[in-house]
Structure 1
């Protein structure tokens, strides 16, 4: 049985309240606007809320209150403007205002659902991080996801960047309703199941091997939706849904609680810290030029401390003699070893044409430039992190 709160016009509220009672649910609040709904969620703690996607009933404050107390919020929309508001706010759980209760039941967070909560986690989480200055974190994360998918793994790419999410535009995907924020919201109410992940994820199609994408927040101001607890929970559920979860993180490692007097306030960089600590493998991306090397060497130790580990794969991107002089690869390796104690770094050669072609087409480098020397290095990197899965051999019965 669900405990339902309503924030709807009178006629719609009466119809759905009657339907809810007929299906064995309890309507605990019938609110006249969003402010009253926020109070009801705080005091009564319903399991879910049905809200009209209209500014009178639904706004960012209502959504934040629902997230804070763990209420599953379903937006009802009957017009294009109402559907647009739900999309702008990132509400994935939406239904038409004419829907009957049978159509609403699957959206209420497990009540009447056939899907069970996700089983224990088994997949691998790979977090991709790099210092500020656009060293190519997102490009490397996308390439690792694409190459692992091409190897035969079931892959999901999650954009956890709270400062400048860019996976969706890089792959030509829509990001009006960010998938990872929806995953965090569902994880916060303990209702993130495999069916839900299938619903909120977008699919990147590729002849080499497609993969799923949980898109990032379209506006940086939405970072409070990605709290550390929700990010950790969402990644744990995702790793039981896929063989590999590749996470694109933000660069900032600032511990903002040190400059705040409110120790319980949400932290903008908490998502990055949570992703790094949830990872089984860390990939650190730096730009192979004097400035990029300096940034990586200064922040590498801080990243390991934030991730609470001692090792990571270092990838130096865009290796070229025009920025490092003759013998660019040797100079990069020497600088890493001398000043950072970093050995065996992966060096990605500079191939601007290949990456420009990929961005222009909204494709991965695997698809846009399969023969690129940069792509070959990234393919080998992915295979070294996670080898191809064993092939299934069909047994033949003797006649």
Structure 2
């Protein structure tokens, strides 16, 4: 088997020594820029890459691009922290003192789809066993809150779901991943432009996401006597390329190991750009929503309970299942009221759903309470603080199996 290898950088004579082995590895091109490496990977001329240049430029975007084209890579570095970072990005890592035969073997193994054990394990002697790492805690659950286009109130639902879980004693992270109109920060009175989710994705791209970065990027918000962490969204929609789907997926995998529940508010639109996905891994604006929905253990689909919102939700769920056939969203109808549905709104909506909606039924109905919702938004707070006895709060809490005190007079409008 012959492996065509492109080399980035010109450190020493390692590439020449690889050639002199006359083994499986053949150096086909020397590149001075990472963009050249990507271009060769995209063209199909490279089976693997050997990275001898500055490692500071090697980030997750570059690693994801190579992985998208099926080209493994080996980076050469002697810095332990750098080696750990690069390994976390999925790159093979070898020290500068490694022999050309060792590097050739690793390139061959990676090109064949086989990975070696970590370098620390390979270099440990039999007399000095490598200590086992502390096991990771059980990962938390990712709950995505989605809804079709239109004002469905999904952000109100997401914010208060997170608040109720926190009040119930769970460690909660609320994430705003809406690339069209983020509003979680406004709902909670966080009027800064730090874009916590963008900071997390940036750290992930650099291979530097750790507990310290997680804590710096996520605001701590007090709600109803408890606290939750919040990764605020993009303050301006044109910044959507900062939420690459690959980086966001890694961020979600990281944060779910630090909390019990991750609630994510995502955008409505789900269409894939076929022109972009045909032969490249170019970023897509809807990629963030798709990445969240693919990572989520549970999806809550929020729709408006009226003659416009229900048909939109039915069509939106059909589109969602075309894109993610295994998705099994829980349907929640919001702003249920007599004035838009009739004298028995809950019964009428269930009958309508049985006739026209997809299988699975309706998981929850949230009564219209514009006074409580407006007061919460005006004060940058949650229902548990501004309307603790409201039926709207109780119904939202029920969605995550939390029970709170109710009041009488359902669907009073």
TM-score w.r.t. length of structure 2: 0.65
| Structure-1 residue corresponding to 2:297 | 280
* 1:163-198 deviation digits (Å, cap 9, x = unpaired): 111101111113312111111111223321122111
Q: In the aligned structure 1, how far is the partner of 2:392 from the partner of 2:268?
A: 23
RMSD: 3.2
| Structure-1 residue corresponding to 2:161 | 144
Q: Pick the aligned partner of 1:346 from 330, 348, 364.
A: 364
Q: In the aligned structure 2, how far is the partner of 1:241 from the partner of 1:321?
A: 43
Select between 296-305 and 258-267 the one with higher mean Cα deviation: 258-267
| Structure-2 residue corresponding to 1:369 | 387
Q: In the aligned structure 1, how far is the partner of 2:285 from the partner of 2:229?
A: 25
Aligned length: 297
Q: Pick the aligned partner of 1:296 from 313, 317, 323.
A: 313
Q: In the aligned structure 2, how far is the partner of 1:126 from the partner of 1:218?
A: 23
| Structure-2 residue corresponding to 1:264 | 281
| Structure-2 residue corresponding to 1:203 | 220
Q: Pick the aligned partner of 2:247 from 227, 230, 240.
A: 230
TM-score w.r.t. length of structure 1: 0.67
Structure (1 or 2) with the larger CA radius of gyration: 2
Q: In the aligned structure 2, how far is the partner of 1:198 from the partner of 1:118?
A: 21
Structure 1 residue 332 displacement after superposition: 1.1
Q: In the aligned structure 1, how far is the partner of 2:53 from the partner of 2:389?
A: 56
Matched, 1:383 2:401: yes
Q: In the aligned structure 1, how far is the partner of 2:340 from the partner of 2:290?
A: 32
* 1:40-84 deviation digits (Å, cap 9, x = unpaired): xx99864548xxxxxxxxxxxxxxx977447xxxxxxxxxxxxxx
Q: In the aligned structure 2, how far is the partner of 1:261 from the partner of 1:121?
A: 37
Q: Is the 8 A contact 1:170 1:363 kept in 2?
A: yes
Structure 1 residue 258 displacement after superposition: 4.5
Q: How does 1:36-115 map to 2 (within 5 A)?
A: 46-48=54-56, 68-69=61-62
Q: Structure 1 residues 45 and 241 mapped into 2: Cα distance closer, same or farther (>3 Å)? A: farther
* 1:196-217 deviation digits (Å, cap 9, x = unpaired): 1111100111233220000011
Where 2:139 maps in the other structure, the secondary structure is coil
Q: In the aligned structure 1, how far is the partner of 2:255 from the partner of 2:287?
A: 18
Q: In the aligned structure 2, how far is the partner of 1:383 from the partner of 1:45?
A: 53
Q: Pick the aligned partner of 1:155 from 159, 163, 172.
A: 172
Where 1:240 maps in the other structure, the secondary structure is coil
Q: Pick the aligned partner of 1:248 from 239, 246, 265.
A: 265
Q: Which runs of 5+ in 1 are unaligned?
A: 1-36, 50-64, 71-105, 386-399
| Structure-2 residue corresponding to 1:52 | none
Structure 1 residue 228 displacement after superposition: 1.3
| Structure-1 residue corresponding to 2:375 | 357
Q: Is the 8 A contact 1:336 1:342 kept in 2?
A: no
| Structure-1 residue corresponding to 2:198 | 181
* 1:310-352 deviation digits (Å, cap 9, x = unpaired): 4221110000011112211111111112111341430000100
